[in-house]
Amino acid sequence: MRLAALEAFAPCCPRCAGAAPPLALEPGWQGSAGRVDHGVLACAACGTAYPVVGGVPVLVADPGRYLGEAGAYLLARDDLPEAVEDAIGRHMPPGGWFDAARHYASTYGRDHWGAHDPADPGWPAPGSARRLLEAALPALPDGPGLVLELGCAAGGVTHALADIARAPVLGLDLSAPLARIAQRALQQGLARYPLRLQGTEFALRQVAVPPPATLAETWIADAMAPPLPAGCARLVVALNLLDCVADPRGLLAAIARLLRPGGVALVGTPFDWSPNATPAEAWPGARAQREPTPALAELLDAAGLRPLAPARELDWTLRLHARAAMTYRASILCAERGG
C-alpha cells in the first residue's frame, strides 16, 4: 500500500461505516519509498486494528472471522522457487485448499496478465475481463469522486481503468491470493501466478507488466461493506461479481451507496447462480415463487441506478487448463445514480 493511496482513498473503518475519521497508520510500520509493506491501520473511534500484510491492507468489518477463515491464504508464502512450489503441489491433495487456490490464481492471474506474457499459450485469448470493460464503459463522468472496482481479482481491470480514467483507481477483493497477485503487479510491475497445465501440474509465470498510468491499488475488503464513505465514487465497476455474493440485491444497494449523485455504475454478470455463493432464496427472481430472473436493468433500477443504455450481451471466456476453457454470456449495463 502506498502512502499516497492512504491520502487519495482515505479508508474508513468498515465497522463504523463512515461515522469515524479515516483510519490512521500506526507508528512502527515497515516499508520504503512511500510504500507500506507491513503495518497497522487503526480506527480512532472503535479502536479496531487492521493489519497491512505484504503491502495489502485487510479492511474487513470482522477481521477475526476473516482471519479465522482465510488467514492461511493471507499468510501463505508466495515467493517460493517454482521447483519447491511444484513439489508441494504434488504432495497436497487435489481439490484441497492449496490446489483450489492455485486453480483460482491460474484462471484470473492468466486472464488479467497473460496478454503481457510472451510464453502464454494464447488459447483462449487472455484479457477477456478487460475486453468486457472496454466494450461497455461509457465516457467517464466528470467531476469529483473516486474510481473503484469491486471484485477486482488479479487486478488487470484495475490496471486498465487507471489507463482509461487517468485518476487514482482502487480495487477491492476478498481473496488474499488474488489481491496479492494484483498488488504486486500494480506496485512492482511483476505479475506472478501459477498457470495450470493439466491435473495438478502448473508452470510458474513471472511476467513484467507496465506500470499503471496512475496510482492503482488493491485492498482486501468486502464489496458489501467497503471501507469507504457513502457518496465517495464517480465510477464503480463490478464485473462478474453479482452472482458471487450472498446477497446480490444488497451488493447493488452497496454500489448505489458508494456513488455520488450522477455517478455511474458498470455492472456485468453471467447470472451463474450457485448455492455455494448465493443461497437460492436470494437468487433474484424469487425461486420459491417460480418467477423468471429479472433483467439486469430491472435489478439496477430497483437499487436506484437508472440504466443509461440497453444491456449488452458479451462473451466472457476463462482458461481452466491447457485443454479447457469456459465461455459465459455476460449481461453488462451502465447505470447512473440519480440526484
Ligand X SMILES: C[S@@+](CC[C@H](N)C(=O)[O-])C[C@H]1O[C@@H](n2cnc3c(N)ncnc32)[C@H](O)[C@@H]1O
Q: One symbol per residue from 92 to 131: x for binding ligand X (CB under 6 A), - otherwise; what is it?
A: ----------------x--x-----------------x--
Contact between 222 and ligand X per CB under 6 A? yes
Q: For ligand X, which is the closer residue by CB, 26 or 110?
A: 110
Position 173 contacts ligand X (CB under 6 A) = yes
What is the distance between the terminal CA atoms of the chain, rounded to a whole angstrom? 33
Element (H, E) at 296: helix 296-302
Question: Counting contacts by CB under 6 A, is residue 133 touching ligand X?
Answer: no
Residue 278: alpha-carbon gap to chain centroid:
18
Q: Which is nearer to ligand X, 108 or 193 (CB)?
A: 108
**Can residue 153 be called a binding residue for ligand X (CB under 6 A)?**
yes
Interface map 235-254 toward ligand X (x if CB under 6 A): ----xxx--xx---------
CB closer to ligand X, 150 vs 191: 150
Residue of the chain from 174, 182, 186, 228 that contacts ligand X (CB under 6 A): 174
Among the residue ranges 93-101, 145-153, 256-264, 289-297, the one whose residues contact ligand X (CB under 6 A): 145-153
Residue 267 as a binder of ligand X (CB under 6 A): the answer is: no
Determine the size of the site formed for ligand X (CB under 6 A). Answer: 19
Nearer to ligand X, 176 or 262 (CB): 176
User: Which residue intervals of 39-191 are DSSP H helices?
Assistant: 63-75, 82-91, 97-113, 128-136, 156-165, 176-188
Q: Which is nearer to ligand X, 247 or 291 (CB)?
A: 247
List 13, 61, 178, 185, residue binding ligand X (CB under 6 A): 178
- 200 lines the binding site for ligand X (CB under 6 A): no
Binding site for ligand X (CB under 6 A): 108, 111, 129, 150-151, 153, 172-175, 178, 222-224, 239-241, 244-245
